[in-house]
Structure 1
Amino acid sequence: MLDIAALARLGGVKKYGEDEVFFNFGDNGKEMYIILKGRVGVFINSFDGFPAKLSELKTGDFFGEMSLLENLPRSATISALEETVVLIINESNFEHVIAQQPNLAMRIMKGISNRLRQANEELSFLKKGTKPGEEDSSDSTGEAGAISSSAPVAVKGPIFPPGHKSYNLIAPSTHETYLFDKDTECPVCEKKFPVRMMRSSKLRLDKVDNDMRQHFEEFEPLWYAVWICPHCLYSNFNFEFKQISDALKPKIIEHGKTLQGKVNLNFSIPRKIDEVFLSYYMTLQTLQQNGKPEPGKFAKVWLRLSWLYSDVGDEEMYDFTTREAYTAFKDSFFNTRRDSSVEQDQRLNLLLGELSLRVGEKEEAMKFYRDAIVRKSGGNNVLNKQAEDCISALKASLAADQEGV
Structure 2
Amino acid sequence: MTEREFGNTTLTQEEERKSIVVCPVCGKPVNNHSAEEIYTVDMVESDFRIRTLDDDILDTWLVFCHHCFYVTHDFTQIPSEIEKVQNVIESKDYRERFTDTNPTTMELFEHYVYMLEKVKALPTVFADTYLRMSWLYDDDGNETLASEYREKAIVNFAKALLLGDLEDKDISMIYYYISELSRRKGEFERAKKSLLKMDMQIPMFRRLFDMQSVLIRDRNKTAVAMPREEN
Q: TM-score range by the shorter chain?
A: 0.7 to 0.9
Provide the TM-score with structure 2 as the length reference. Answer: 0.76
Describe the shift of the 1:82–1:394 C-alpha distance in structure 2 as closer, same or farther (beyond 3 A): same
Residue 356 of structure 1: aligned partner: 182
- Distance across 2 between alignment mates of 1:234 and 1:260: 10
Contact kept? 1:187, 1:242, Cα under 8 Å:
yes
1:284 aligns with 2:121: no
**By how many angstroms is 1:365 displaced?**
0.9
One-letter amino acid matched to 2:162: N
- Distance across 2 between alignment mates of 1:346 and 1:239: 29
**By how many angstroms is 1:281 displaced?**
1.2
Describe the shift of the 1:364–1:310 C-alpha distance in structure 2 as closer, same or farther (beyond 3 A): same
Q: Can you list the C-alpha shifts for 1:71-95, whole angstroms capped at 9, x where unaligned? A: xxxxxxxxxx999xxxxxxxxxxxx
Contact kept? 2:34, 2:63, Cα under 8 Å:
no
- Distance across 1 between alignment mates of 2:33 and 2:163: 33
User: 1:324-403 counterparts in 2 under 5 A?
Assistant: 324-332=152-160, 334-342=161-169, 344-375=170-201, 379-381=202-204, 383-397=205-219
Q: Secondary structure at the match of 1:206?
A: strand
User: 1:225-374 counterparts in 2 under 5 A?
Assistant: 225-238=61-74, 241-255=77-91, 257-267=92-102, 275-290=104-119, 292-332=120-160, 334-342=161-169, 344-374=170-200
Contact kept? 2:128, 2:153, Cα under 8 Å:
yes
1:191 aligns with 2:13: no
- Distance across 2 between alignment mates of 1:249 and 1:198: 20
Provide the TM-score with structure 1 as the length reference. Answer: 0.46
User: 1:3-402 counterparts in 2 under 5 A?
Assistant: 182-197=19-34, 199-200=36-37, 202-238=38-74, 241-255=77-91, 257-267=92-102, 275-290=104-119, 292-332=120-160, 334-342=161-169, 344-375=170-201, 379-381=202-204, 383-397=205-219
Q: Secondary structure at the match of 1:219?
A: coil
Q: Secondary structure at the match of 1:260?
A: helix
Describe the shift of the 1:367–1:183 C-alpha distance in structure 2 as closer, same or farther (beyond 3 A): same
One-letter amino acid matched to 2:94: L
Describe the shift of the 1:340–1:380 C-alpha distance in structure 2 as closer, same or farther (beyond 3 A): same
Structure 2: segments with no counterpart, 5+ residues: 1-9, 221-231
Contact kept? 2:20, 2:30, Cα under 8 Å:
yes
Q: Secondary structure at the match of 1:247?
A: helix
Greater percentage in strand: 1
- Distance across 1 between alignment mates of 2:19 and 2:207: 41
Describe the shift of the 1:361–1:388 C-alpha distance in structure 2 as closer, same or farther (beyond 3 A): same
- Distance across 1 between alignment mates of 2:211 and 2:19: 43
Residue 23 of structure 1: aligned partner: none
**By how many angstroms is 1:186 displaced?**
1.9
Describe the shift of the 1:362–1:180 C-alpha distance in structure 2 as closer, same or farther (beyond 3 A): farther
**By how many angstroms is 1:251 displaced?**
2.0
Describe the shift of the 1:304–1:181 C-alpha distance in structure 2 as closer, same or farther (beyond 3 A): farther
Greater percentage in helix: 2
When Rg is computed on C-alpha atoms for both structures, the one with the higher figure is: 1
- Distance across 2 between alignment mates of 1:204 and 1:180: 22
Q: Secondary structure at the match of 2:152?
A: helix
- Distance across 2 between alignment mates of 1:244 and 1:301: 18
**By how many angstroms is 1:360 displaced?**
3.9
Q: CA RMSD in A?
A: 3.1
Contact kept? 1:182, 1:197, Cα under 8 Å:
no
Instruction: Give the total of aligned pairs.
Output: 209
